[in-house]
Chains A and B, each alone.
Chain A
Amino acid sequence: GQQVMQIPQYQHVQEGEDFTTYCNSSTTLSNIQWYKQRPGGHPVFLIQLVKSGEVKKQKRLTFQFGEAKKNSSLHITATQTTDVGTYFCAGHTGNQFYFGTGTSLTVIP
């Protein structure tokens, strides 16, 4: 069945270091969305990418959608303590909407 895996599962970084999470789908996705879930909170939508090879930036966050539309990445430059949380990718295949396994980010001040 459809699987969306993310690596790493956990990441600890010193404040100011960069961070990247990778998302890999077993099937082609029509789009990729990224969500952030703060500890004790609920997922909050960050961004959507639709086109093959698309790159979008939000301040220190850079999102990429792979050429084959089966993988994606989220890169955070110079992490801050406010970046702490779990980052999920998610995507549509037809009417199905699958979430990745998530990457939990800890930022050490």
Chain B
Amino acid sequence: GAGVSQSPSNKVTEKGKDVELRCDPISGHTALYWYRQSLGQGLEFLIYFQGNSAPDKSGLPSDRFSAERTGGSVSTLTIQRTQQEDSAVYLCASSPGQGLNGYTFGSGTRLTVV
């Protein structure tokens, strides 16, 4: 597609439920990042995929968080047993190569855990 697509745009879930967030990067972009942004806050790095290399998971806040990237394209971020502190906007960004000419962000998924 023309841009980075994220779905759903909004998700309300009950505490303790699992959620899956999807990111469709721009076709051909090898680099893909997931960030989390709480209201009025900065961007918290979660995970980084680059081509077929092993992902950099160093930003995942707990073992309840995991992410996959199938076929070097679509990525799914899964949060198990959601907690209220997981409420935030989850942003995906992609870039060709190493991102040395900027990243394109999706519109994000606003997750609310009630």
Q: What residues make up the interface of A, taking CB atoms closer than 8 Å to B?
A: 31, 33, 41-45, 48, 50, 88, 92, 95-102, 104
CB pair A48 B100 closer than 8 Å: yes
DSSP majority for the A interface? strand
Instruction: Closest A residue to B92 by CB, please name it.
Output: A42
- The interface residues of chain A lying within 8 Å CB-to-CB of B75 are none
Interface residue tally for chain B (C-beta within 8 Å):
22
- The interface residues of chain B lying within 8 Å CB-to-CB of A31 are 100
What separation, in Å, do the CA atoms of A26 and B37 have in the docked complex? Answer: 22
DSSP majority for the B interface? loop
Known contacts A95-B48, A96-B56, A98-B45: A45-B98 contact under CB 8 Å: no
Number of A-B contacts (CB under 8 A): 48
| CB-contact partner of A33 in B40, B42, B48, B102, under 8 A | B102
CB pair A44 B33 closer than 8 Å: no
Residue of B33, B40, B56, B99 with most chain A CB atoms under a 10 A cut-off = B99
| CB-contact partner of B102 in A45, A96, A99, A104, under 8 A | A45
User: Would you call B106 an interface residue if the criterion is a C-beta within 8 Å of the partner chain's C-beta atoms?
Assistant: yes
CB pair B101 A48 closer than 8 Å: yes
CB pair A88 B42 closer than 8 Å: yes
